[in-house]
Amino acid sequence: MTAGGIITALIIGLIIGALGRLVVPGRQNIPIWLTLVIGVVAALLGSAIARAGGFAETNGWIDWRELLLQIALAAVGVALTVSMWGRRRRVSRY
C-alpha cells in the first residue's frame, strides 16, 4: 500500500466513524477522537472482510457492499464503546 493509499484509508476511516456514530440512536458520551479511531479500525476491518469474502474489487468507483459493511462495523463499535465507556465513567471512587 502506498502512502497515498494509507492517507486515503485514514480519511475514509474518519468519515466511516462519523457515519457509524450517526447510525447509533441516542446520545453517545464518548470523545470524538475515540469515534474517529473506531471508524479507522472499522474501515480497515471491513476492507479485510470484503477481500476475504471476494467482493472488495469493483469496476465502479465505490463498492457499496464494502462501504455498508464498514459503516455497520463502525456502528457496532460505537455502540459497544458507548456501553463500556459509560460504565467506566460511572464507577464510584468511594
Q: Write out pLDDT tens, residues 15-50.
A: 888 888 888 888 778 888 888 888 889 888 888 888
Q: Between 93 and 43, whose confidence is greater?
A: 43
pTM over 0.85, yes/no: no
CB of 34 closer than 8 Å to CB of 14: no
As a whole number of angstroms, the distance between CA 17 and CA 35 comes to 5
Grid look-up 459509560 returns 86
Q: Which carries the bigger pLDDT value, residue 8 or residue 23? A: 23
What is the Cα–Cα distance from 59 to 64, expressed in whole angstroms? 12
Q: Looking at per-residue confidence, does 85 or 1 come out higher?
A: 85
Neighbours of 32 (CB within 10 A): 12
